[in-house]
Amino acid sequence: MSSYYKAAEPFTEATRAVNKQPRKLLAVGLIANLVPYHHARWEAFAATQVAECVLLEMFGKDEFSVLQYNPSEKVSYSRQVLFDTVRMDEVSGVETRRMVQKYLTQLKPDVVCLNGYAFTHSLAALEWSIDNKVPTVICSESNEFDAARNPLKEWIKGRLVRLCDSGLAGGAPQAQYLNRLGLSWDRIFTGYDAVDNHYFRIQADSARAREKEIRTRYNLPERYFLAVSRFTEKKNLSRLIQAYGHYREGAEKEREEIWDLAILGDGPLYEDLCSLRGRLGLDTRVHFIGAKPYAEVPAFYGLAEAFIHASTTEQWGLVVNEAMASGLPVLVSNRCGCVSDLVEEGSNGFSFDPHNAEQIARRMWDLSRMSAVRRRELAENSRRRIDQWGPEAFSTGMQQAIEVALRRPGPKASLADKLLLRLLVHL
């Protein structure tokens, strides 16, 4: 193994049993990196104690450093990091396959939970599970419309999905896509896309209680729309800024109060977006806050008037969950996979066409002109709605998916399926 790899220490049988108690069902989940929402989901599942839970975390580094996470409190699951000093793009498919299958062989799980079908480590785990006759649950947040679909790739994905025993999808569109790829409805459950609702609720309310202190600390405007996003093309921030310019012009003509736009995040388009902001004369109205660590993020939700997410394509959009748990009305692109499940038009927010700057501006205008009482109603509805999509929903869905996976006969993999898996792992 190359010198820059630092692999996890072997997992021993001693970690499975304490005081020689009978061995529990062992569920192993695979993730690329442990980020806060993974922790919240798997902690909720592991805390039920229906199964012993081990997370195999592939890589100790995330390309977006503020997402790197190490829980400070005691956790209910075990965690093993296979390559703790590198990112995904620094490890070959061959080495990933070797390490994944080595650890699964040591662990001897009763069920393996895959995070999708696109990662090499998921494919390697699926290959191992087929060879060892261990049931698999595929966790997926992909939907039909989140990207252009290539017929050959769709055929390959269908072959892979049909090799799994059950699925845990983000929500309704994601469940429909798993079904279209070949998983029967009786094997599909929802609840995958959850965040720690309680954390965002408590921390956002705490920020509101310390409004003057927080606003001064971060130099925040009195009233603002909040966006939380990486500065990349698909996040559509350039059109959002243009839309904000239209909103501001309309509000000035009508002599209405104007909210600012605060954008939390960073990325490769930062300089371009700064230039656009300057050309539109919005330097004092559009605020680039920068990327902030997880512990600081709820404060920005807490002092915002509303949340806006303008992506042109998004498998789900977990920041919408965070905003709703924080008690905000939401404006969300209709290209986000969460819209049909989380946004109830006129009840907790509105959707919009992300390619239409005028429509985005109208949504901003409509919301900012609402009475404070009406906006509070939308905010309260956001919290009520997201309560159904917390870590407990993930735990329930995962339990159901595992139960189905364990009791049904395993899919039969043909020689062609096995060869396809081997080929994909080595690509």
What's the pLDDT score for residue 2?
33
Q: Is residue 264 part of a domain?
A: yes
What's the pLDDT score for residue 4?
30
Same domain, 174 and 286: no
Judge whether 337 and 319 are in contact, CB under 8 Å.
no
What's the pLDDT score for residue 5?
32
User: How many domains are there within the chain?
Assistant: 2
Same domain, 314 and 415: no
Q: What is the DSSP annotation of 39-69? A: HHHHHHHHHTTSSEEEEEEEES--SSGGG--
Same domain, 55 and 165: yes
Same domain, 141 and 222: no
Q: Is residue 1 part of a domain?
A: no
What's the pLDDT score for residue 146?
80
Cα(first)–Cα(last) distance of the chain, in Å? 19
Q: Is residue 5 part of a domain?
A: no
Collapse the DSSP code of 188 into the 3-class scheme (helix H, G, I; strand E, B; otherwise coil) and give the result. Answer: strand
Q: Is residue 281 part of a domain?
A: yes
Q: What is the distance between the alpha carbons of residues 163 and 411, in angstroms, rounded to a whole number?
A: 5
The CATH number for 218's domain is 3.40.50.2000
Same domain, 153 and 201: no
The strand order across the sheet containing 330-333 reads 286-290, 260-264, 224-228, 306-309, 330-333, 349-352
Same domain, 217 and 157: no
Q: What is the distance between the alpha carbons of residues 326 and 147, in angstroms, rounded to a whole number?
A: 29
Q: Is residue 112 part of a domain?
A: yes
Same domain, 236 and 378: yes
Same domain, 112 and 215: no
pLDDT digit string, tens, across residues 157-171: 999 999 999 999 999
pLDDT digit string, tens, across residues 328-372: 999 999 999 999 999 999 999 999 999 999 999 999 999 999 999
Same domain, 119 and 232: no
Q: Is residue 3 part of a domain?
A: no
What's the pLDDT score for residue 10?
38
What's the pLDDT score for residue 65?
62
Dihedral sign from CA coordinates of 49, 52, 57, 58: negative
Q: Which of 267, 288, 270 is nearest to 218 (CA)?
A: 288
Same domain, 188 and 246: no
* Amino acid (one-letter) located at 250: G
Tally of CB atoms within 10 A around 92: 11
Same domain, 182 and 206: no
Q: What is the distance between the alpha carbons of residues 99 and 7, in angstroms, rounded to a whole number?
A: 8
Same domain, 419 and 359: no
Q: Is residue 291 part of a domain?
A: yes
What's the pLDDT score for residue 86?
80
Q: Is residue 301 part of a domain?
A: yes
Average pLDDT across each block of 10 residues of the chain; the chain has 427 residues. List them in order.
34 41 84 93 95 93 66 86 85 92 96 94 95 96 87 94 96 97 96 97 98 96 97 97 96 88 96 97 96 95 98 96 98 97 97 98 95 96 97 97 88 86 84
pTM: 0.91
- Residue 245: domain span: 197-388
